Structure 1
């Protein structure tokens, strides 16, 4: 299950030329000193947005807040299973997340 989700996450990121996957056991994307895409040990994918966009997407995707290692990750939306086949849409969403972290103060 986890390896399949890693393949999907990798395929999404491959469509995004401005960043790459990072990490070995905890897989993530980051830019400007901020993480914005995560794959947790349960094989769930989460993208980070502003509070307003997060709430909008939780409603639109019929999803929830993203959790990793038992903790709710602030600003992250759980990408539901039923969306994982539309890699182009997910790449657009991840690029939107990237744009959001690039708007933040660098760490």
Structure 2
């Protein structure tokens, strides 16, 4: 809410929002054709320090997920309010993995 597209949709209507998106895409495509934009394979490879941070983050996340798996097998995992044990397990694993993704990507 509050985004430009949302405001256009609310103030002018869905057809205007659709046209805005279409024209914006046309403008971006035109700019890319005129200016050009390219990257090389070297631009996609992380440096050693970044790879180390990513690997550490992944290792920590694996350990946390393995701990959750062990708790679930031992029936020691507490269910979250309003969720089944399986839903609680899935939610906690997703939280760990989402945090790892966010930490590794920053």
TM-score (norm 2): 0.25
Larger Rg: 2
- Please state which structure has a larger fraction of its residues in helix: 2
- Please state which structure has a larger fraction of its residues in strand: 1
